[in-house]
Structure 1
């Protein structure tokens, strides 16, 4: 089992271009898995992409279009784009000041349990924000990381939505660090009415060092997945 993960920070990158790149890496892993049936000595690669997107709304395959509260013209006026995509979950927002992570892993290198995979993704974020004094937790039946669950003040700080096929993952998580939360007013986030969204910046009352947060996420992710993370020079997409 190959527990080595190639870490690439793509910087500020268009959503569609990044999605296509994820698909390339995903297909590469799946192709090796198919070939491995005849050549068991082959190993599959694993990747972890960090990226920050321009303003964009994405709707998962089970999502409801009515949760987008903007028309095409209004989207354009806000400088935002919209995509229907092939992950689970409903609608969410990505934009500047948000750390997006896309682990593209062959889970057969780690464990074959999607539920465990999602819980460990959540745990990596929970442990990361705990270092800043924020007590993140899970909300029953609502994937992601929340604050003050079970109170009238419950609010989501990190959204998650993944796709998995042949035990290969793509898509991932979006942690609000210094994001402009006003963009969430244009959707019903994750299709969940009556619950707020927050960010580390809002909770802590100061701008947060995003590079520092990324480093902490990687530290916790590598421990939880018992993986060896190696930063590689990102190709130009």
Structure 2
């Protein structure tokens, strides 16, 4: 089992271009797995982890409801935002500047074949990361992602998650609100959940966080939780 992960920071990149890149990487891994089964061979499969920051964009998961987008085409254009209906789970979410988006494209057969466990470990990665800043992240039953003050009238989401998997290969991932403009969330019913707020590390701490520092902490916890052998940085 290959537990090395190829790490690439795409910096600022268009959502559709990144989605296409993820799909291409996933298909390449799936193709190796298909050939292995056909030829009774054991060629190892790669694992990837992409960091990215997207321009303003709203994305709707395959089971999502269009009515959770509160803007029409003209209003989207006025806000400099785009919209895509995509193939991950979950409902609607926003990506934009100041948000840390992570896309692990893993062959889970290199780690464990359990999607529920995969999502819980992704959540735990973020919970442990924000704990280093004094923020107590928790899970909300039945609602994937990381929240603050669950069970109170002040519950608010700090990290959204949505994934897709094919033949145990994952794509899409998490979006941690670091220094993001929360006003853009006013244009949607985030994740299709009414009456719950969205927050960011900046809003909670009263100051901007160092994005690169947060990314390094995410990788540190991800490495331990997923028992990663090594991250190899791709340029």
Residue number in structure 2 paired with 1:24: 24
Residue number in structure 2 paired with 1:171: 172
Where do 5+ consecutive residues of structure 2 fail to align? none
**Mapping of 1:89-128 within 5 angstroms?**
89-128=90-129
Q: CA deviation at 1:39?
A: 4.2
Q: CA deviation at 1:228?
A: 2.5
Write the deviation string for residues 97-126 of structure 1: whole angstroms up to 9, x where unpaired. Answer: 000000000000000000000000000000
Q: Determine the C-alpha separation between the residues in 2 that align with 1:10 and 1:223.
A: 23
Q: Determine the C-alpha separation between the residues in 2 that align with 1:140 and 1:50.
A: 27
Q: CA deviation at 1:71?
A: 0.4
Q: CA deviation at 1:230?
A: 2.3
Give TM-score scaled by structure 2 length. Answer: 0.98
Residue number in structure 2 paired with 1:228: 229
- 2:58 is paired with a residue of what secondary structure? strand
RMSD between aligned residues: 0.7
Residue number in structure 2 paired with 1:55: 56
- Contact kept, 8 Å, 1:7 with 1:229, in 2: the verdict is no
- 2:11 is paired with a residue of what secondary structure? strand
Q: CA deviation at 1:165?
A: 1.2
Q: Determine the C-alpha separation between the residues in 1 that align with 2:171 and 2:234.
A: 20
Q: Determine the C-alpha separation between the residues in 2 that align with 1:231 and 1:184.
A: 34
Q: Determine the C-alpha separation between the residues in 2 that align with 1:180 and 1:89.
A: 22
- 2:113 is paired with a residue of what secondary structure? coil
Q: CA deviation at 1:233?
A: 2.9
Residue number in structure 2 paired with 1:69: 70
Q: Determine the C-alpha separation between the residues in 2 that align with 1:105 and 1:208.
A: 28
Q: Determine the C-alpha separation between the residues in 2 that align with 1:15 and 1:149.
A: 30
Q: Determine the C-alpha separation between the residues in 2 that align with 1:231 and 1:126.
A: 24
Write the deviation string for residues 198-224 of structure 1: whole angstroms up to 9, x where unpaired. Answer: 000000000100000000000000100
Residue number in structure 2 paired with 1:193: 194
- Contact kept, 8 Å, 2:4 with 2:232, in 1: the verdict is no
- 1:133 is paired with a residue of what secondary structure? coil
Give TM-score scaled by structure 1 length. Answer: 0.98
- 2:191 is paired with a residue of what secondary structure? helix
Where do 5+ consecutive residues of structure 1 fail to align? none
Residue number in structure 2 paired with 1:219: 220
1:13 aligns with 2:18: no
